[in-house]
Amino acid sequence: MDSINRVLLDRIQRSFPLSARPYDVLSEGLGIDGEEVRRRIHALKERNLLRQISAIFNTGALGYRSSLVAMSVPEGEVERAGSVVNLYPGVSHNYLRPGNYNMWFTIAVPPGQSLEKTVEELAERAGGWPTLILPALKKYKLAVVLDVLEEGEAGEESSGAPVVEALAPFQPTEDNVRVVRCIQEDLPLVDNPFEVWANSLGITEADLLKLISQWVSYGFIRRFAAVLNHRQVGFSANGMVVWSCPPERLDGCGKVLSSHAEVSHCYCRPSYPEWPYNLYAMVHARREEECHSIAEKLGDAIGLKDYRILFSTREFKKIRLKLFWS
């Protein structure tokens, strides 16, 4: 990638302009026009560096319940268990990681459906293996912004701002659900992309842009932004670092971890006798050695040296979660 592409990726993964002609806005200061920005984004998608540009929703604010789940699956049963888990449409990520609890997946269930019952049924169909439900009890950071810039290239400042939850209840009216289903898809790669969406919804472009902005301010949408393909842009080492943290120190440690740019996600989750870890941080690096160095630095910063790093050894499923799929 050249410097313009790197700066462009840095900008759009933080925030995509909610404007009638967003590519013109993105071109400012880059020495190119909006048409060239659009051409470059198309090329980045063709190279699989850029997954999609869309609304990134706060699923909890829309009435969904979600959780990380760990399952202990015997080696010979991994294929079958993974296939069963992947069939559920609310499972967006499913990885194999080393250890007794080796299958890790994220699941979201729609309003009115029991998370615990759904996981129990999935585990039973997968073979009846021991399962830990690990919902986020507190979210300290949720912002996957990969540092694609090189030294000397000007990008946006990283934000360690706390996660803001919804300021009002989401109303799942027929019209609102139609909008969610639309704007969770990849933004059309045309000069006036929001106009295309608005026309499909039977509303004006101005009204759609206003609604998206309102939903961002209310906390229904966490960001309207691009999602990059981690591995394709060079971040092939993604480690989940876990600590057993004294309860009274969780908030302080979570705040410190969230201030580090290498951390994309940071949560407090429940612990179990067989799994005593309650503080989680996802780190992204180009090599596993870098992840180990980052984890050591993070441990020093919070004064907790006893940690584990879980690297994904296999990817069973990785998709964008589709809300209101039925």
Band (pLDDT 50/70/90 cuts) for residue 158 is: very low
Q: State how far the Cα of 310 lies from the Cα of 272, in Å rounded to an integer.
A: 17
Q: Is the pLDDT of residue 191 over 80?
A: yes
- Would strands 279-285 and 314-318 be described as parallel, antiparallel, or unpaired? unpaired
- Using the Cα atoms of residue 281, residue 286, residue 292 and residue 294 in order, give the sign of their dihedral: negative
Task: Kindly state the average pLDDT of the residues 151-175.
Answer: 64
Active-site annotation holder among 42, 93, 260, 284: 93
Give pLDDT tens digits for 285-324. Answer: 888 999 999 999 999 999 998 899 999 989 999 888 899 9
Q: Is 230 a catalytic residue?
A: no
Which pLDDT score, from 0 to 100, does residue 262 have?
Answer: 87
Which pLDDT score, from 0 to 100, does residue 183 have?
Answer: 98
* Whole-structure pTM value: 0.84
Give pLDDT tens digits for 100-143. Answer: 999 999 999 999 999 999 999 999 999 999 999 999 999 999 87
Which pLDDT score, from 0 to 100, does residue 235 have?
Answer: 59
Give pLDDT tens digits for 192-247. Answer: 999 999 999 999 999 999 999 999 999 999 999 998 876 655 556 789 999 999 99
Which pLDDT score, from 0 to 100, does residue 326 have?
Answer: 62
Which pLDDT score, from 0 to 100, does residue 152 have?
Answer: 39
Q: Mark out the alpha helices in the chain (DSSP H runs).
A: 3-14, 22-27, 34-46, 78-87, 115-126, 174-183, 193-201, 205-218, 250-258, 288-302
